[in-house]
Amino acid sequence: MAATKIIYGTAWKKERTTALVVSAVLHGFRAIDTACQPKHYREDLVGAALQTLYDAHGFKREDLYIQTKYTPIGGQDQSQPLPYDPRADIPEQIQASVQTSLKNLRTSYLDGLLLHSPLGSIAQTVTAWRTLVSLQASGVVHKIGVSNTYDVAILETLEREGGRRPDVVQNRWFEGNQWNNDVWAYCVKHGIQYQSFWTLSGSPSLLSHPAMRAISSAKGCTDAQVLFKIAQTHGVTPLCGTTNEQHMDEALAVEKLDFSDVQPLVGDVLRIIRD
């Protein structure tokens, strides 16, 4: 499928997950992010939404990009059913998590699989990464990556010791971490898809900045659309987890916005982000 410009995020949707994913796809989203982590995601309800889209709306599996995550035990709620045996070694945990995801998502392959976070040590993280590399080689997973990884040295180690560079990095990209400038730059340099979350909710000061307001006024769009557009044109693929259908439409309309006539203002915003 075509390059993904924006991804629908399903964290914290709980029992609303099925209806929201169906709505997001019908509004135009073609990429869905989830995780095999019952603590924050209902991956099974994403699968139910996909089945509805296939059966009732004519979509095919290949029309959609489906991405999930292996969540280490530290990120799981152990009072809930786990997707793997926590006593198993890391490769076995990942294999079991993937089988759970395939069942939940009612699919024979995953478009994307991420480590939800680095593990307790770099050695464990490399072991996990090598398992993802083998899953990619088998064809069960198409793209592999990492999330919540804010140290370029870890990405370099995955390439050097783990066999290959990630296809995807998914991190918080917001004013609270100075927009993760070093990892973002590394991803742009090496052709890694940098996916962002907390892009809007984590950046209230930027959204209210006069330069942002001037762009939104000049282009007749929202401040949120301005930030998404700047992200998309500078190597960032935003996640959007809105539950509001109007905001879904606005997020999807960003791709068609043309900022060629407001480049000095865009430059002002980029200087704020990069400085």
Q: What is the pLDDT of residues 177-219, one digit of tens each?
A: 999 999 999 999 999 999 999 999 999 999 999 999 999 999 9
Q: What integer pLDDT is reported at residue 4 of this predicted model?
A: 85
Reading the block at residue 49, the tokens are: 């939404």
Please give the share of the chain, as a percent, with pLDDT higher than 70.
99
pLDDT band for 2, please (50, 70, 90 cuts).
low
User: E-assigned strands of 48-124?
Assistant: 65-70, 110-115
Q: Which DSSP category does 177 fall into?
A: G
> CA nearest 16: which of 260, 258, 251, 244?
244
How many C-alpha atoms does 169 have within 13 Å on its Cβ side?
A: 31
Mean pLDDT over residues 164-181, rounded? 97
Work out the pLDDT band at 1, boundaries 50, 70, 90.
low
- DSSP codes, 14-47: GGGHHHHHHHHHHHT--EEE--S-TTT--HHHHH
User: Closest Cα partner for 25 from 43, 41, 46?
Assistant: 46
pLDDT digits (tens, 9 = 90+) for 108-156: 999 999 999 999 999 999 999 999 999 999 999 999 999 999 999 999 9
pLDDT tens-digit readout, 84-103: 999 999 999 999 999 999 99
Element (H, E) at 55: helix 43-57
What are the residue boundaries of the structural domains of the chain, listed by start? 7-172
pLDDT at 3: 66
Find the mean pLDDT for residues 38-57: 98
| C-alpha of 238 from chain center | 7
Report d(CA 179, CA 248) in Å as an integer.
23
Confidence (pLDDT) at 179: 97
Q: What is the mean pLDDT of residues 29-57?
A: 98
The CATH classification of domain 7-172, taken from the options 3.20.10.10, 3.20.20.140, 3.20.20.100, 3.30.1490.20: 3.20.20.100
